[in-house]
Amino acid sequence: MQKQIIFVGLLMSIALLTGCVFQGEQSLEEMDVPQEQKTEEANVPTSQDAEEGMKEEELDEEGIEEAEGNATVDRQLYLLDEEGMVVPQTVAVPMVDSKEVAKQSLEYLVKDGPVTELLPNGFQAVLPAGTQFSLNLLEDGTVVVDVSKEFEDYRAEDELKVLQAMTYTLTQFDSIERLKLQINGHDTDVMPVNGTPVAEGYSRANGINLEIGDVMDLTDSDSVTVYYPSQHNDQLYYIPVTKRVDVKESKKYETIVETLINGPGYNNTGLLTVFNQDVKLIAEPDLENGVLTLTFNENVLNDFDDKSVVTNKVMESLVLSLTEQPEVEAVSVKVENKDKVFTEKGVELAQPVTRGEISETGSF
């Protein structure tokens, strides 16, 4: 009898312990993760996001290479050229784990940082040496960048360049729309050196390499970002310039093309004019299913041959500039009195050209 009592007691103890274990496991599963942690984990770009979701260009199989056993991936970094312009350059950087790609991209903008050995000739990083970051991406596409005290060690005249380089580098990822700044964990409404307002965040809508131009009435004008080529030694690359222009929404594409045709202006002596004189559109641009069709007069063709050639610089400037508009995915160029037009390599321009086929370093 005593043995039975001991046995029953033992069974009850096991049952109680089992219930406690299962109840403990259920409680862990039902425990809520803090909202801030959920947001960061769910939305910070991963390596896969970087490969599939870059705004500036789609990464294909050639964008990821094995270098001495270490995987690398092409990133677009916004650096300073010899003229002090903020310029996109494609640099191969090591692939990193998820949630680190955006932070890594910023780290490659820091002077004396990992970008030092990779800098193209004539270029320099824009952020002060020693700057460190932590990032938190919110659900609305705003990335909050907390910078260390070293960040404040830049010249007042470089403040917009710092903002633009950070913003354009981060917004190459689809999940990031704008930048907000913290310094040592504290929110700031203005940049620390020259007081540029940043309370509402900073996005591509604020522009890059800003130029007011000849516009007199800023309230009755709009901003467009166009790409002009520049050359350093043998390297050709494209510089985005945001200009204030008189523009009506119904004439937006014509205004962008006209701005390119007019050239960069006297204030930007390092930029090249690529269009011949008297080039003009002979029909309204036509946007259908993301493809913008432009029809030019014959002056758009290369002056130095009779093979109906549209130069690379013309095509690259048009495609990079017009695909800044979110609804434009590709550009098709037609020329009056010409059934066919060709690239400099003799390839017929029979299909629309996408931004993915164009590199800001001139690889079309």
pLDDT tens, position by position, 84-109: 999 999 999 999 876 899 999 999 99
Classify residue 340: in a domain, yes or no.
yes
Q: For residue 144, what are the domain limits? A: 43-204
Q: Given a cut of 50, is residue 78 above it in pLDDT?
A: yes
For residues 150 and 261, membership in a common domain is answered with no
Q: Do 53 and 199 sit in the same domain of this protein?
A: yes
Structural domain includes residue 71: yes
Write down which residue in 204, 226, 251 finishes a domain: 204
Q: Residue 22 falls within a domain, yes or no?
A: no
Answer yes or no: do 263 and 174 share one domain.
no
Quick check: 151 and 131 in contact, CB under 8 A?
A: yes
* 350, 250: one domain: yes
258 and 230 in a common domain: yes
- Co-location of 58 and 199 in the same domain: yes
Q: Are residues 222 and 195 in the same domain?
A: no
Are 174 and 243 part of one and the same domain?
no
Are the C-beta atoms of residues 145 and 135 closer than 8 Å to each other?
A: yes
Burial class (CB in 10 A: 0-12, 13-18, 19+), 344: middle
Q: Is residue 21 part of a domain?
A: no
291 in any annotated domain: yes
What band does 285 get if pLDDT is binned at 50, 70 and 90? very high
Query: Is residue 200 located within the same domain as residue 223?
Result: no
Assess if residue 315 is contained within a domain.
yes
Q: Decide if 18 is inside a domain.
A: no
End-to-end Cα spacing for the chain = 93
The average pLDDT across 313-334 equals: 96
Quote the number of domains for the chain: 2
Question: With 70 as the cut, is the pLDDT of residue 259 above it?
Answer: yes
| Residue in the block written with tokens 């909202």 | 35
pLDDT at 136 over 60: yes
Which one of 148, 169, 204 terminates a domain?
204
Residues 180 and 84 in one domain: yes
pLDDT tier, 40 (very low <50, low <70, confident <90, very high otherwise): very low
The tens digit of pLDDT for each residue in 197-255 reads 999 999 999 999 998 755 545 455 688 999 999 988 888 899 999 998 886 667 999 99
In a domain, 124, yes or no: yes
Please compute the mean of the pLDDT values over residues 324-339 and round it to a whole number. Answer: 95
Asked if residue 323 and residue 262 are part of one domain, the reply reads yes
In this predicted structure, what is the pLDDT of residue 178?
Answer: 96
Predicted confidence band of residue 48 (pLDDT cuts 50, 70, 90): very low
User: By C-alpha distance, which of 136, 132, 112, 106 is closest to 124?
Assistant: 112
pLDDT number for residue 270: 83
Residues 258 and 308 in one domain: yes
Residue closest to 55 by CA, chosen among 226, 172, 205, 204: 172
Q: Of the candidates 204, 228, 250, which is a domain's last residue?
A: 204
- Average pLDDT of the segment spanning 337-353: 93
Which of 15-19, 78-82, 286-290, 317-321 is least confident?
Answer: 15-19
